[in-house]
Structures are given as structure tokens and as C-alpha cells.
């Protein structure tokens, strides 16, 4: 079964909405020299409307969907939680002296998945940043398969090239046991939102807008 990364491509569709998310971060330890610190995001983020028309999903770094869409997903996939997102209505104009756009669209919810699969460089072909000598933190990033297109140094200039098809056994490899039967999950330290092929099929059957999938790996 394939593993897919999905993108809420807010700006991919013409005039699609964009929000700024104001996360509340709970700091769990001191900040290391490398900039890393243990922290946890509080759920949900409050949203600041930046303009555009809301599709079924909306992007801002977290997973935002119209609440009706979120409910359909929660009903079908028990590993998904959803909670209404507070939206800055723009009423604090005088207080903050910043003009905010008024949001008049449908109610929005943030989605969250209960399962987090840790990075597993022993089976996945992931690029790793060097380990920090102070806090031993290692950052992993999904490799080139995760990108819809990428820049490559060709001759003496960077050029956009289309994605390279994934070769079996490469990319994000998820052991079946790590999923507890779930279809949607967060992967790794940075919490990339991913799903299995049946999640993509369900979403594509609904014809929802502003979401797209790229195959990045497989379940073993």
C-alpha cells in the first residue's frame, strides 16, 4: 500500500484563501545552541484571514477544512480529530492598529491525527541533517519524492525539474504495526501529514478542492 503526503494547496488554485496561523507553543525545555527546543503545539491554532475564497481545505501550515468536510472525515476515519478554529474577525482594528480582513466564509475546523510515526532512517531513505553535538537532535527531511517539483543545479544555474518517480523500497517506509490500523498519520519530528492510498481514494471520491497528493513511500 502506498504512503502519500498531501498538500493543502491554498495558493495553487486561483484566488484560494490563505490564513496565517497563530500557534500557541508549549515549550518543554531550554533552547539549544542549534536553535532546537522541545516544544508542543496547542490545538487548534487561531487563524488570521489573509484573503481569497475558501475551498474545501485551506492552508496555513496546519490542516484546515470547512467544518462539514472535517466532520465527513471524522465520521469515516476515527483517527482524525477536528475542532473549530477561532478566526480573527478583524474587530480589534483599533486596538492593534492593523487593518485585518473580515472573514465571512464558512466555519473552519483544524484536523489532527492521533498517530505519529517516528522517523525511521534505518528503513526509509531519508536525508538527515547532521546531529547536533550539544543536544543530539537530528532533523530528518523527506527526500525529493515529497516535492511536486524541485530545483536542481544544472550547469551553473538552479532550474525547476519535474519529480522523479519513486522507486519501490525508497522514500518513506512505514511499518504496518506503527499505524494501529490508521489511514491518516503524522510522520516524523516535523509532523508531515500523510495518508495511505485509501485515504486519497476517499477524498478524491468527494471531489473536494484545494488538496493534492504525492506518493512518497509505502507500507511494509
Q: Is residue 139 within the footprint of Zn ion (CB under 5 A)?
A: no
CB 216 within 8 A of CB 23: no
Q: According to CB under 5 A, which one of 96, 114, 127, 134 is a site residue for Zn ion?
A: 134
Q: Closest Cα to residue 163, out of 153, 179, 173, 152?
A: 152
> Smallest gap, in angstroms, from Cβ of residue 131 to Zn ion?
9
Q: Which of 21, 135, 139, 141 binds Zn ion (CB under 5 A)?
A: 135
How many Å apart are CA 32 and CA 136, to the nearest integer? 10
Q: Distance between CA atoms of 101 and 72, rounded to whole angstroms?
A: 29
Residues contacting Zn ion: total by CB under 5 A: 7
Q: Return the residues of window 159-198 that contact Zn ion according to CB under 5 A.
A: none
The DSSP secondary-structure symbol of 44 reads S
Which one of 5-13, 85-93, 125-133, 156-164 is the stretch in contact with Zn ion (CB under 5 A)? 125-133
Which x/- pattern over 3-42 shows residues binding Zn ion (rule: CB under 5 A)? -----------------------------x-x-x------
Q: How far is the CB of 130 from Zn ion (least distance, A)?
A: 10
Tell me the backbone φ, ψ of residue 140, rounded to 5 degrees: -110, 150
How many Å apart are CA 188 and CA 146, to the nearest integer? 14
Q: What are phi and psi of 205, to 5 degrees?
A: -65, -25
- Which positions lie near Zn ion, rule CB under 5 A? 32, 34, 36, 132, 134-135, 137
Amino acid at each position: 500500500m502506498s504512503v502519500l503526503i498531501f498538500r493543502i494547496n491554498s495558493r495553487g488554485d486561483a484566488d484560494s484563501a490563505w490564513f496565517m496561523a497563530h500557534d500557541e507553543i508549549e515549550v518543554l525545555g531550554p533552547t539549544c545552541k542549534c536553535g532546537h527546543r522541545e516544544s508542543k503545539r496547542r490545538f487548534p491554532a487561531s487563524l488570521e484571514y489573509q484573503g481569497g475564497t475558501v475551498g474545501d481545505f485551506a492552508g496555513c501550515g496546519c490542516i484546515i477544512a470547512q467544518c462539514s468536510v472535517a466532520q465527513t472525515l471524522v465520521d469515516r476515519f476515527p483517527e482524525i480529530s477536528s475542532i473549530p478554529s477561532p478566526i480573527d474577525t478583524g474587530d480589534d482594528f483599533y486596538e492593534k492598529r492593523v487593518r485585518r480582513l473580515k472573514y465571512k466564509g464558512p466555519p473552519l475546523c483544524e484536523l489532527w491525527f492521533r498517530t505519529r510515526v517516528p522517523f525511521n532512517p534505518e528503513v526509509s531513505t531519508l536525508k538527515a541533517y547532521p546531529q547536533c553535538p550539544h543536544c543530539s537532535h537530528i532533523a530528518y527531511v523527506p527526500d525529493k519524492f515529497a516535492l511536486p517539483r524541485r530545483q536542481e543545479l544544472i550547469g551553473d544555474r538552479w532550474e525547476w525539474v519535474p519529480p522523479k518517480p519513486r522507486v519501490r523500497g525508497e522514500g518513506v517506509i512505514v511499518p504496518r504495526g506503527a499505524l494501529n490500523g490508521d489511514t491518516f498519520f503524522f510522520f516524523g519530528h516535523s509532523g508531515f501529514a500523510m495518508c495511505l492510498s485509501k485515504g486519497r481514494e476517499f477524498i478524491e471520491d468527494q471531489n473536494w478542492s484545494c488538496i493534492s497528493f504525492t506518493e512518497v513511500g509505502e507500507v511494509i
